[in-house]
Amino acid sequence: MSVTFAGSRGRVESQLVPDAGFALDTFAVSGFPRRPGLGLVRAVWQAIRAPFACWGILSRRRPDVVLGGGGYVAGPMVLAARLRGIPTALTEADAHLGLANRLAAPLSRRVFLAYAIVGRDGARYRVVGRPIPSAHLGASREDARAGFGLPQHRPVLAVFGGLAGAQALNEFAVDAFGEAGPAVLHVSGARDYESVRPRVARDDYLLLESTDDFGAALAAADLAISRAGGTVWELAAAGTPAILVPYPHATADHQALNARHFEAGGGAVVVDQRELARVPALVEELLADPARLAAMSEAMRSLAKPDAADVVADELVALAQAVR
């Protein structure tokens, strides 16, 4: 079986996909600006042309099945595939079905949901969790801490700022723990790294722009502070208790919905970004209560769906075989 990707130039996939060794076909498409202007005209023109570009990609690649990852990039490809009679499926990563997926769902034979969503429970929909890299599973705490140079027998707090960075979390972390507190493993993301780096004033606060071994970062932590995007599923699979601070400007507040799922299951505590001031006391309280952390860790594992990628792959193979 061969797998190829399609996406937009200048987006993160234009780097990640080739770096991972896969072929990437690109086409011009962009989201619609909220205000009228030349940007909106350009986006509309690209949206009209994109399905034709996708038709050409499908003609060259001749896939047996197409999987849309959500967002405006996936819509034109799913439409072109449907018009060519190629079975299609969608993935939704959040607890709210995005606009692109709402529009594309009627064109697709299967919609893989990360969370149960009210009104999306027919035969077309299947709750599978969010696929995560298998390389992020199974790291040992001792090896992870040794690799990062973190103490073996003291609590370790992880702070995850995301691929690009979460400025509010990054600023908060160095202000709260940069001079004193538990050992910290802080993955800031590229955007804020240089601005927060000078404010770390102790040896057991490890600040990284990024890491190629995120599974070890998860394993090293007794507790994590994180946004509530895709990382929550990796935290769950690793059994890492979390303080989740949803991004307050996420569409339809979907990060808050994601976070409440894990809080309701007992694996996380949700804190509104406006209440970050209460997090240091919460961190101290949780790290001082190993029994509670152990219960939260077990709850996270019970909520995890580490086989999500396998489930999706098996379903895609079945969809492809059904039309042969």
**For position 14, which CATH number holds?**
3.40.50.2000
Task: Give burial (CB, 10 Å; 0-12/13-18/19+) of 118.
Answer: exposed
pLDDT given at position 252: 83
Same-domain status, 139 and 285 = yes
Mean pLDDT of 297-322: 95
Same-domain status, 178 and 115 = no
In the chain, the number of structural domains is 2
Same-domain status, 158 and 232 = yes
Same-domain status, 30 and 101 = yes
Mean pLDDT of 177-187: 96
pLDDT at 163 over 70: no
Same-domain status, 219 and 276 = yes
CA distance linking residue 252 with residue 244, whole number of Å? 17
Better-predicted residue by pLDDT, 152 or 72:
152
Same-domain status, 97 and 150 = no
CA distance linking residue 28 with residue 47, whole number of Å? 8
Same-domain status, 246 and 290 = yes
Q: What is the pTM of this model?
A: 0.89
Same-domain status, 276 and 231 = yes
Share of the chain above pLDDT 70, in %: 98
Mean pLDDT of 226-247: 95
CA distance linking residue 294 with residue 297, whole number of Å? 5
Q: Which H helix or E strand runs over 13?
A: helix 13-19
Same-domain status, 142 and 281 = yes
Domain span holding position 22: 4-130+307-322
**Letter for the amino acid at 294?**
A
**Of 237, 218, 249, 102, which is closest to residue 113 (Cα–Cα)?**
102
Same-domain status, 78 and 16 = yes
Same-domain status, 27 and 85 = yes
Same-domain status, 103 and 214 = no
Give me the residues paired with residue 187 across strands: 160, 208
